[in-house]
């Protein structure tokens, strides 16, 4: 679990780099195999669009609801933990699109009652470095609230999202260079992004995202059909969860 010093660093900076493998080598290899199957199923579609694979593949729940992950996020989320979403993140060699500067919270605006304690675990399934477009963050920007008003349109032939935050101080960016099995944690409100993959190695990660079970998932159209799980502890928000 994170130490009090680790938690303090996360609270101040909005991220933490975890160099300790989360899963055993055998369990980690199983997740890599699941990713390979999902990638193959995409066919001609862009590989960076592997969203919410756990909605379709129950094998992923072994990872998402595991004590290994929940023990890691509990010091940040609290003892009552709900699973918000997961994604396979993959940038193809040489042609993987850039991820524009953004806040995750901006994509969830109006869907939740609070955004202050949503934590993402970004687990590297392959090497992640500057050459193949590793994630980068602007430390401390989560303290600005997570809803910037200076988004501008992007070209989605070279970017993964339709808009990005302008005037980002890129000289302050911290690059998350990770070996397979290592992970990063980041606050849902922090400004982050990634350059395109210009290298020969596919950049692949699995994001596992959690929020306190005291936060209400609001009954709005954007949440229609959305699935959440109570991962640990008790619900105090009156949410409806999927069966484990």
pLDDT in tens, 36-90: 999 888 866 655 568 899 999 999 999 999 999 999 999 999 999 999 999 999 8
pLDDT in tens, 149-169: 999 999 988 898 889 999 999
**What proportion of the chain, given as a percentage, has pLDDT over 90?**
88
Question: CA–CA separation, 102 vs 194, rounded Å?
Answer: 10
Residues in a beta bridge with 119:
187, 210
Please state the domain extents for the chain: 4-232
96 φ/ψ angles, rounded to the nearest 5 degrees: -60, 130
Query: Taking 80 as the threshold, does the pLDDT of residue 5 lie above it?
Result: yes
Query: 11 pLDDT band (50/70/90 cuts)?
Result: very high
Asked whether 243 and 221 are in contact (CB, 8 A), the reply is no
Structure tokens at 227: 């699935």
Task: Pick the closest to residue 102 from 184, 161, 157, 145 (CA basis).
Answer: 161
Mean pLDDT, rounded, for 93-107:
93
Query: Taking 60 as the threshold, does the pLDDT of residue 19 lie above it?
Result: yes
Residues in a beta bridge with 183:
18, 123
CATH fold for domain 4-232: Jelly Rolls (2.60.120)
Burial (CB count within 10 angstroms: exposed 0-12, middle 13-18, buried 19+), residue 231: buried
pTM for this predicted structure: 0.95
Task: Pick the closest to residue 214 from 145, 147, 118 (CA basis).
Answer: 118
């Amino acid at each position: 679990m994170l130490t009090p010093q680790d938690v303090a660093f996360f609270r101040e900076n909005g991220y933490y780099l975890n160099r300790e493998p989360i899963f055993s080598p055998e369990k980690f290899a199983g997740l890599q195999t699941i990713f390979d199957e999902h990638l193959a199923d995409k066919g001609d579609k862009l590989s960076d669009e592997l969203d919410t694979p756990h909605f379709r593949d129950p094998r992923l729940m072994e990872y998402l609801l595991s004590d290994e992950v929940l023990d890691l996020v509990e010091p940040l989320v609290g003892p009552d933990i709900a699973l918000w979403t997961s994604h396979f993140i993959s940038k193809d060699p040489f042609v993987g699109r850039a991820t524009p500067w953004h806040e995750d919270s901006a994509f969830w605006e109006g869907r939740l009652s609070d955004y202050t304690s949503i934590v993402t675990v970004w687990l590297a399934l392959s090497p992640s470095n500057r050459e193949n477009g590793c994630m980068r963050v602007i430390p401390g920007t989560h303290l600005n609230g997570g809803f910037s008003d200076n988004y501008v349109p992007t070209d989605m032939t070279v970017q993964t999202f339709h808009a990005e935050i302008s005037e980002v101080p890129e000289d302050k960016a911290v690059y998350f260079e990770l070996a397979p099995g290592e992970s990063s944690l980041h606050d849902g409100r922090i400004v982050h992004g990634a350059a395109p993959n210009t290298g020969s190695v596919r950049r692949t990660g699995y994001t596992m995202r959690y929020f306190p079970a005291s936060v209400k998932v609001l009954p709005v159209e954007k949440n229609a059909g959305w699935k959440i799980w109570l991962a640990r502890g008790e619900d105090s928000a009156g949410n409806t969860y999927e069966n484990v």
